[in-house]
Chain A
Amino acid sequence: MDYDKLLNMAAELGYQLMYSGAEIYRVEESARRLLHAYGLENPEVFAIPNCVIVSVATPEGHPITRMRRVPAHGTDIELLERCNGLCRRLCAQVPPLDEAQALVLALPEDEPRYSPRRVLLGYGLAPAFFAPLFGGGLADLVCAFLCGLAVGGCLLYGGRFIGANSFFRTALCSALASLLALALVRAGLGDSVDVVTISTLMVLVPGVALTNAMREIMAGDTFSALSRTADAILVASAIALGAAAGQALGGML
């Protein structure tokens, strides 16, 4: 068997899983189970939030290792479910290596994605319907929808201008949200600045990082849990900083 190819395939699957926002234990267990299904005795997989390392020893005793660096990524549940399903299928059927590798490589390509416009609509919908939950009326709902669209547009289309630094990006979007909320309420469209701002900030809030951190703790991956918790706290302070800057700026005008 071509162990180099097998190793590449397992590393690619781990990379895809990590890129879709899967938990550490899921990445490690999936890659390990896949290698095990192809007859390797003691495959070693190590993953932290931005790196996957797969190491195996061939039956002749020759050790080989592959490392993949995972760039900053969002959450893609569809890709995660597909990776999971494919891993289960490969482990159960163990198709020839070339066929399996083609399947793994095709994962991100034939995956359905929402068009940017639909995603933008999501960015508008979520804050709009959070407004009533925080005590806002119909006017606040409309305002939150507009602010959400602005933040979503900034995140989706403004990547070139605001850069890839997530701290800066979050702070900037938060400032934009609070400024826009202030402007809309002053223009007489909304009722409460607080409600509109909070509803809009809910799309930036580190709920995902927090949930992931908690799941890593549950699985016993303390190192990854700590780094994700730090991430959540950093994002939260970026939100606070941005909103404070936006309000201060709005107060001056």
Chain B
Amino acid sequence: MEGIFFDYVVPCLCAFLACVGFTLMFNIHGVGKLIAGVGGALSWLVYLLAGSTIFAAFLAAAAIGIFAEIMSRVRLCPVTGYVLVALLPLVPGGGIYYAMHYCVSGDTEQFLNTLLHTFGMAAALAVGAMLASSLFRAAFPKLRRPGKP
């Protein structure tokens, strides 16, 4: 029980709060703040459950894509804000940092490894969210779309 609490609940809570911090920077108000935070927590939960690999990032991004599409239809507002904030915890900031670290210390092999891993992460995020929301739109074209009167 305690293992679950510290392995999953606390990190998801942290992802939630971090995303709420980002909503202040992106000027998101009201209930949108909550949705963006829940999106961030959801993405991190999927990422942890799927094993913290590049494929896990792909799945997490796909989950975000679908979550944001649903929320934008519920609230009738653009999907942009939710995807933007919820994906941020997964963006490979660590990858950039470690790649720089290895590059400066002259460890070319590790540098290339980390660099490719970083690009892989970024590509997985992009493709995951893109694929999921395209599939969602193809599957439910009848749902009312925000922006279309």
Which positions in A face B, CB cutoff 8 Å? 21-23, 26, 29-30, 74-81, 84-85, 87-88, 91-92, 112-114, 118-119, 121-130, 132-134, 194, 197-198, 201-203, 205-208, 210-215, 217-218, 232, 236, 239-241, 243-244, 247-248
Contacts and interface: CB of A to CB of B under 8 A. Distances in A.
Given A21-B80, A26-B147, A75-B84, A125 B97 contact: no
Interface in B75-121: 77-78, 80-81, 83-84, 87-89, 91-94, 96-101, 103-104
Interface string B20-53: 1111111111001000000000001000000000
B149 interface: yes
A125 B20 contact: yes
B27 A77 contact: yes
Given A88-B146, A207-B91, 4 more contacts: A88-B147, A129-B14, A210-B87, A240-B103
A240 B92 CA distance: 12
A82 B10 CA distance: 35
A198 B134 CA distance: 32
Contacts of B100: 239-241, 243-244
Contacts of B23: 77, 122
A29 B77 CA distance: 15
Contacts, number: 171
Size band of the interface chain B makes with A: 35 or more
Contacts of B71: none
B130 A80 contact: no
Contacts of B70: none
B60 interface: no
Interface of B: 10-11, 14-15, 17-29, 32, 44, 77-78, 80-81, 83-84, 87-89, 91-94, 96-101, 103-104, 122, 125-127, 129-130, 133-134, 146-149
A22 B10 CA distance: 33
A125 B24 CA distance: 10
A29 B11 contact: no
B38 to A, nearest CB: 15
Given A126-B18, A133-B44, A218-B130, A201 B97 contact: yes
Contact of B94 (A134, A213, A215, A218): A134
A76 B89 contact: no
A77 B11 contact: no
Nearest to B128: A214
Contacts of A197: 97
Nearest to A239: B96
A84 B27 contact: no
B137 to A, nearest CB: 10
Given A214-B126, A214-B130, A79 B27 contact: yes
A215 B80 CA distance: 9
A211 B87 contact: yes
Contacts of A85: 77
